[in-house]
């Protein structure tokens, strides 16, 4: 018997609308085990497609195919191959980039990032977890990596009843892997770094922002210095803030290694921005790249206040003619909402501000139309007129 899920009429409607997730409330009947590839049927028994099934997550089904065709291992392999071929065609100026971006590569809940000769994978659902051997064999065949690491430690796995763990799945993975991005060299700790090691999604925004970098620069929420390193090469003075001592230590190492002068400091950006304003400091270039303030819908109100506060402070610290690069990676705050927050901040800062560029996550993290969850990173490049 092929595992089968019958969904409700509402689920069917949603599915026809193009969204690949079916929630628990829209499941009428389940004859399947955790992590199965299942047939999805309408209330009238019509075959709608196939999906990864979860017996724990609120997202019960993640669609793989539509219509009569049933997904199998060969399909997963072909999709991985297509995802890699697309990245190769992008001629990315880096040795680290995303190879598979989940739903946007029709491989729901699978993340694959390349760091030079090494590959990091994340399987964020029961179904993808079970398919990991297929994923590893496809990656080995296609890329011949020296090592494949599973960074299966995101909290999302707990919601699906999966363990949080980090394992070497093939070859060896050293403690530090050297990669280059936009002319900067980094040592990356794939086991402990944030996300899979680096914030790969900001690569193209760092490069774009560098075109405006000049004078005195402030990089807020710097992590290991991504923006400061690329932009600092064009600035007279660069200060970077992060609340994490480890991150600041890495900024210092990376700065020395790449010959970029960065004054990296440990500090809470909310306090530091206020302090800098109090002492009358001014900047020509400011970057705000905070962590996701709105990790869920309940956090949106506070998140809005947080984004407004840092944008208001930054606009006050900016000299006329200066550039603010401001980002949000909360998908619960969409582009229009973020634009409104930034506008509100400009009104309170009594600044006239123009939008010079509206950007998003890099091309290796494409957005699937109709799936707002895949459009999470907004990056506006703004100019303060007066």
**178: which residues sit within 8 A by CB, 6+ positions away?**
116, 185, 186, 187, 188
Minimum distance, C-beta of residue 60 to ligand SAH, in the bound complex (Å): 32
Which residue in 354, 350, 381, 377 sits closest to 364, CA to CA? Answer: 377
Is 291 buried (19+), middle (13-18) or exposed (0-12) by CB count in 10 A?
exposed
Q: Is 199 in the site for ligand SAH (CB under 6 A)?
A: yes
Mark residues 27-66: x for contact with ligand SAH by CB under 6 A, - for none. ----------------------------------------
Please identify which residue in 183, 275, 291, 370 interacts with ligand SAH, judged by CB under 6 A. Answer: 291
Minimum distance, C-beta of residue 286 to ligand SAH, in the bound complex (Å): 12
Q: Is 232 in the site for ligand SAH (CB under 6 A)?
A: no
Q: How far apart, in Å, are the Cα atoms of 210 and each of 228, 262, 340?
A: 9, 15, 25
No. of helices (H) and no. of strands (E), the chain? 11, 20
Residue of closest CB approach to ligand SAH: 226
Q: Edge-to-edge, what's the strand order for the sheet holding 147-152?
A: 96-101, 110-115, 118-123, 147-152, 165-171
Q: Is 223 in the site for ligand SAH (CB under 6 A)?
A: yes
Element containing residue 135 per DSSP (H, E): helix 132-143
Q: Which is nearer to ligand SAH, 129 or 242 (CB)?
A: 242
Minimum distance, C-beta of residue 222 to ligand SAH, in the bound complex (Å): 5
Q: Which is nearer to ligand SAH, 181 or 284 (CB)?
A: 181
Q: Kindly list the catalytic residues.
A: 329
Q: Which is nearer to ligand SAH, 39 or 205 (CB)?
A: 205
Q: Which is nearer to ligand SAH, 112 or 310 (CB)?
A: 310
Length of the chain: 386
Q: Can you name the residues that pair with 38 across neighbouring β-strands?
A: 51
Residues in contact with ligand SAH, counted by CB under 6 A, come to a total of 18
Residues numbered 256-285 forming contacts with ligand SAH, rule: CB under 6 A: 268-270
Minimum distance, C-beta of residue 289 to ligand SAH, in the bound complex (Å): 4
Pairing of strands 263-266, 237-242: parallel
Burial code of 254-285, b = ≥16 C-beta within 10 A, e = fewer? bbeebebebebeebebeebbeebeeeeeebbb
Q: Is 182 in the site for ligand SAH (CB under 6 A)?
A: no
The CA distance from 291 to 127, in Å, is: 28
Please identify which residue in 53, 115, 186, 221 interacts with ligand SAH, judged by CB under 6 A. Answer: 221
Binding segment toward ligand SAH, per CB under 6 A, in 5-13, 24-32, 108-116, 235-243: 235-243
Q: Which is nearer to ligand SAH, 136 or 156 (CB)?
A: 156
Minimum distance, C-beta of residue 329 to ligand SAH, in the bound complex (Å): 8
Residues that bind ligand SAH (CB under 6 A): 199, 202, 221-223, 226-227, 241-244, 247, 268-270, 289-291
């Amino acid at each position: 018997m092929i595992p089968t899920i019958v969904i409700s009429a509402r689920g069917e409607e949603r599915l026809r609308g193009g969204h690949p997730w079916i929630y628990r409330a829209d499941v009428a009947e389940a004859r399947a085990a955790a992590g199965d590839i299942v047939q999805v049927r309408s209330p009238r028994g019509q075959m709608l497609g196939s999906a990864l099934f979860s017996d724990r997550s609120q997202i019960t089904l993640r669609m793989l195919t539509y219509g009569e065709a049933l997904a199998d291992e060969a399909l997963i392999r072909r999709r991985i191959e297509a995802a890699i071929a697309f990245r190769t065609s992008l001629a990315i100026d880096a040795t680290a980039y995303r190879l598979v971006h989940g739903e946007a590569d029709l491989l729901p809940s699978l993340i694959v990032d390349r760091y030079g000769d090494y590959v990091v994978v994340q399987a964020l659902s029961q179904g993808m977890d079970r398919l990991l051997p297929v994923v590893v064999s496809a990656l080995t065949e296609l890329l011949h990596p020296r090592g494949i690491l599973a960074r299966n430690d995101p909290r999302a796995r707990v919601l699906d009843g999966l363990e949080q763990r980090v394992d070497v799945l093939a070859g060896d993975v050293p403690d530090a892997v050297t990669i280059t991005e936009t002319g900067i060299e980094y040592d990356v700790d794939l086991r402990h770094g944030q996300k899979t090691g680096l914030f790969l999604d900001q690569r193209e925004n760092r490069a774009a922002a560098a075109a405006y970098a000049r004078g005195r620069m402030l990089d807020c929420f710097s992590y290991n210095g991504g923006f400061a390193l690329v932009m600092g090469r064009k600035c007279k003075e660069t200060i970077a803030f992060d609340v994490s001592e480890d991150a600041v230590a890495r900024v210092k190492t990376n700065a020395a290694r790449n010959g970029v002068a960065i004054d990296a400091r440990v500090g809470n950006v909310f306090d530091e921005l206020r302090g800098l304003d109090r002492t009358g400091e001014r900047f020509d270039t400011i970057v705000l790249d905070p962590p996701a303030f709105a990790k869920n819908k309940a956090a949106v109100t506070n998140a809005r206040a947080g984004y407004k506060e840092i944008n208001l402070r930054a606009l006050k610290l900016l000299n006329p003619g200066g550039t603010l690069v401001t980002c949000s990676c909360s998908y619960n705050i969409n582009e229009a909402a973020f634009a409104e927050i930034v506008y509100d901040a400009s009104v309170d800062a009594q600044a006239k501000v123009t939008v010079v560029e509206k950007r998003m996550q890099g091309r290796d993290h494409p957005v699937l139309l109709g799936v707002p969850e895949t459009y999470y990173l907004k990056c506006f490049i703004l100019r303060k007129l007066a």
